[in-house]
Amino acid sequence: MMHASAIPDPASGASEHRGSEAQGPVLLCFDGSDSAINAIARARSLLAERAAVVVTVWEPVASWEPYDPGAIVSAGLSKLGSEALGLDEIAEDLARAKAEQGLAHARAQGFEAEVRIVSGKPWRAICDLAEELRAASIVLGARGLSRVQSVLLGSVSAAVVAHAHRPVLLVRDDAAIDRQA
């Protein structure tokens, strides 16, 4: 599925800006899942040869939203506990290790790639980084969640498609498709 941003008005001079965007790197989103590995492999066969940036996003514990009403009461204690235990540092270290795995996959597919580790809400961090890098496109793997699962668990890929101002290549995981059949 390709999500394209609006076509600029040539009279506005935006076409020059758009041309420079096409030269930006491909943003390869990597969370360690089989879907992300598959997306990197498929992206190589679909996209022109260009530089790539592998991004892994980690979310600070303090920004986690409690969905359980009982958890809302203890949210302050959770924040204090996460700081005392160094959970954010652990999450960042895990993201760094994941990003290195993603970099290895991207390079194995022939991408000339580098790594970026960012923090925040995953969809927003991906969209913001894509703008910062003037990414030619954003590549994401989709786990193939059902509509109900997406509503309950949230869908980073759906949020990126909805909010990105860059083309998005969303690659469904073949195994997920087979499981739903």
Looking at residue 2, its pLDDT comes to 40
Looking at residue 45, its pLDDT comes to 86
Q: Percent of the chain having pLDDT more than 90?
A: 48
Give the range of the structural domain holding residue 63, as residue numbers without chain letter. Answer: 2-180
What's the rounded mean pLDDT across residues 156-181? 77
Looking at residue 109, its pLDDT comes to 93
Count structural domains, the chain.
Answer: 1
Lowest-confidence region among 30-39, 104-113, 141-150, 164-173: 141-150
Looking at residue 82, its pLDDT comes to 54
d(CA 92, CA 58): 6
Which run of H or E residues covers position 14? helix 14-22
Give the CATH number, domain containing residue 16. Answer: 3.40.50.620
Question: Is the pLDDT reported for residue 166 higher than 70?
Answer: yes
Looking at residue 80, its pLDDT comes to 55
Looking at residue 50, its pLDDT comes to 80
- Cβ–Cβ < 8 Å for 125, 118: yes
Question: Is the pLDDT reported for residue 177 higher than 90?
Answer: no
